[in-house]
DNA sequence: TCATCTCGCACTTTTGAATGGG
DNA sequence: ACCCATTCAAAAGTGCGAGATG
């Protein structure tokens, strides 16, 4: 499966400072990203992926691993990953299904993980799969280690960003290309809720091997002993592994060849009909769907019901990406001082300080499709029940590597729960392929997304409330 | 009372330093 | 002195269940 980058709408408006023949325009239109282990992700997705989050930080499994093609081999790129809320709800696990439990909590500071190889040449990124193995998730909002902070019982989606930039200083002047894979949507949990997910993880995660055979013997012995002491609990927490019948059933489900034999084109068309979340047998989201009809105007399945295996080019809106600046660098990242080719090529970005960069955070919520200026992010009309004002911050943190200077930076990011994917990703129709670029509604706004460059954010006041941190990846 | 979170356990895998040979 | 392969101990990562927390 691949995510293609169709930037037609984004390049439909003239960008005076960027000649159409610029290398970037070439790369932007050809960059493609695909998800490694996509079958595994789909397997988890069909059960309702859960990711453990702990205070010290927990790795993701399945891990985020991507393939990138279409980069300029000699140009340098920076790869980033972050996690955005899928919707504005908190969930609970009730009788084998996830249900909406209420409104989402205010989002913690949004942190962006910079791949440790960044910046690296396009050839480097393309020669092998890029692993985000060392990304750690935490529920500790005071985390000092640079882990990505999430709320338990909330749903998130990883996003991957490719930025053509010679160094981290020039990122803010560079073009972001954002990719998402709907099958990577997961629910953050502090303890597994769905036993199917537990089993899938044990079966597929090498670190959990100990729980597969030897441990299950010893543990089952221990459990049987404990069951004598607390029989009611032992029964309540009965492992699915013990139930042979259930295990067989699960085996058949898990080993079912997901989308077997689908080529890319077939997947695009068939996945809509065979959308996992609509399959009651596998879907843990059954109840949620009912809720989605009654409660939310933005279905939590919005992404799944899209062509989940289609490709997409998701470009964040201006207020999503522009209002950030690196913080903590030793030199001023002003375009005039920057030596990057991008910055020298596009001096006009500095000449537009009044753009979205300084939009106050409360302006964000007023940025509806009807009223937003051309610089406002493209987003769906906010769902009343999901509205959540939040001026998040993209924290990018880099711990010193032996051969790399230590860099700690923060990036501002405005997003709310209702904006989450819709804002960042652009309109949902963008995920349906090129045909949907006819923009069923508000085509003008869509076209204003254009290219996305870093803009200087005028508001520095809140930065101090977020800790500087190092990132273990470097 | 209940849902959720934290912690320690026993286990496996990964990592990196130490060592030795060419 | 350098490079490479091997070994091995320490660190890191894993799900589980009991107990804590709100």
pLDDT tens digits, A397-434:
443 333 333 333 333 333 333 333 333 333 333 332 22
Nearest one of A314, A457, A453 to A391, comparing CA atoms:
A457
In this prediction, residue A141 carries a pLDDT of 86
At residue A210 the predicted structure's pLDDT band, cuts being 50, 70 and 90, is: low
Distance A387 CA to B13 C1' (A): 43
pLDDT of residue A452 exceeding 60:
no
Q: State whether residue A214 is helix, strand or coil.
A: helix
Distance A220 CA to B9 C1' (A): 14
Structure tokens that stand for A258 in this block: 């997901």
Structure tokens that stand for A391 in this block: 């001026």
Q: Which nucleotide is nearest to A200 (CA to C1')?
A: C15
| pLDDT tens, residue by residue, A216-237 | 444 443 433 333 333 333 333 3
Any atom of strand B under 7 A from CB of A218?
yes
What is the spatial distance between Cα A465 and Cα A290, in angstroms, rounded to a whole number? Answer: 39
Distance A147 CA to B17 C1' (A): 27
Distance A238 CA to C18 C1' (A): 15
Q: Sign of torsion, CA A366 A371 A376 A379?
A: positive
Strands A393-398 and A50-52: unpaired
The mean-pLDDT minimum among A140-144, A343-347, A394-398 falls in A343-347
pLDDT of residue A373 exceeding 60:
no
DSSP A298-323: S-TTHHHHTTTTS---B---HHHHSB
Cα–Cα distance list, A118 to A46, A210, A400, A405 (Å): 33, 35, 13, 12
Distance A93 CA to B15 C1' (A): 37
Any atom of strand B under 7 A from CB of A225?
no
In terms of phi and psi (left: phi > 0; alpha: psi -120 to 50; beta: otherwise), the region of A68 is: beta
In this prediction, residue A424 carries a pLDDT of 37
| pLDDT tens, residue by residue, A258-313 | 333 223 333 333 333 323 333 333 445 544 444 433 333 344 444 333 333 333 33
Cβ contacts of residue A437 below 8 Å, gap of 6+? A6, A8, A9, A429, A430
Any atom of strand C under 7 A from CB of A239?
yes
Q: Sign of torsion, CA A86 A87 A90 A94?
A: negative
Distance A402 CA to C3 C1' (A): 21
Q: Which nucleotide is nearest to A50 (CA to C1')?
A: C15
Q: Are the CB atoms for A340 and A167 separated by under 8 Å?
A: yes
At residue A156 the predicted structure's pLDDT band, cuts being 50, 70 and 90, is: very high
Any atom of strand C under 7 A from CB of A131?
no
Q: Which nucleotides of chain B have an atom under 7 angstroms from any protein CB?
A: 3-7, 10-14
Q: Which nucleotides of chain C have an atom under 7 angstroms from any protein CB?
A: 12-19
Spacing of C-alpha A279 from chain mean position: 24
């Amino acid at each position: 499966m691949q995510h293609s980058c169709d930037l037609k709408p984004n390049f439909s408006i003239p960008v005076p400072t960027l000649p159409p023949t610029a290398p970037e325009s070439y790369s932007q239109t050809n960059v493609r990203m695909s998800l490694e282990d996509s079958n595994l992700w789909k397997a988890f997705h069909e059960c309702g992926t859960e990711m453990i989050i702990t205070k010290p930080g927990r790795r993701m499994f399945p891990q985020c691993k991507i393939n990138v093609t279409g980069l300029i081999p000699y140009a340098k790129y920076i790869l980033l990953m972050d996690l955005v809320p899928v919707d504005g709800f908190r969930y609970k696990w009730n009788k084998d299904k996830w249900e909406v439990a209420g409104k989402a909590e205010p989002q913690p500071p949004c942190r962006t993980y910079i791949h440790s190889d960044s910046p690296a040449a396009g050839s480097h990124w393309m020669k092998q799969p890029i692993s985000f193995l060392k990304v750690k998730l935490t529920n500790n909002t005071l985390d000092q280690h640079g882990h990505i902070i999430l709320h338990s019982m909330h749903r998130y989606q990883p996003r991957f960003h490719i930025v053509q930039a010679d160094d981290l200083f020039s990122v803010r002047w560079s073009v972001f290309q954002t990719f998402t894979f709907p099958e990577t949507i997961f629910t953050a949990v502090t303890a597994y809720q769905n036993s199917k997910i537990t089993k899938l993880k044990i079966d597929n995660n090498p670190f959990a091997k100990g729980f597969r055979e030897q441990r299950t013997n010893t543990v089952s012995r221990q459990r049987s002993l404990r069951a004598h002491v607390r029989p009611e609990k032992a029964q309540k927490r009965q492992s699915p592994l013990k139930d042979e019948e259930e295990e067989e059933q699960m085996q058949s489900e898990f080993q079912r060849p997901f989308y077997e034999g689908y080529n890319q084109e077939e997947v695009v068309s068939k996945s809509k009909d065979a959308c996992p979340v609509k399959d009651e047998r596998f879907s843990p989201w059954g109840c949620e769907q009912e809720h989605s009809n009654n409660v939310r105007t933005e279905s939590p399945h919005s992404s799944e019901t899209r062509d989940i295996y289609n490709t997409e080019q998701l470009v964040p809106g201006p207020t999503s990406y522009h209002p950030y600046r690196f913080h903590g660098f030793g030199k001023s990242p002003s375009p005039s001082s920057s030596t990057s080719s991008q910055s020298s090529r596009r001096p006009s970005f500095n000449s537009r300080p009044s753009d979205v960069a300084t939009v106050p955070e409360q302006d964000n919520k007023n940025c509806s499709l009807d009223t937003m200026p051309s610089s406002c992010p493209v987003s769906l009309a906010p769902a009343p029940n999901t509205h959540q004002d939040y001026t998040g911050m993209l924290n990018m943190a880099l711990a010193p590597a032996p051969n790399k200077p230590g860099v700690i930076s923060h990036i501002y990011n405005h997003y709310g729960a209702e904006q989450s994917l819709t804002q960042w990703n652009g309109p949902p129709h963008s995920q349906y392929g090129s045909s949907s670029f006819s923009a069923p509604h508000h085509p003008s706004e869509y076209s204003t997304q254009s290219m996305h460059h870093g803009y200087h954010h005028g508001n520095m006041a809140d930065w101090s409330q977020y800790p500087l941190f190092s990132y273990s990846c470097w």
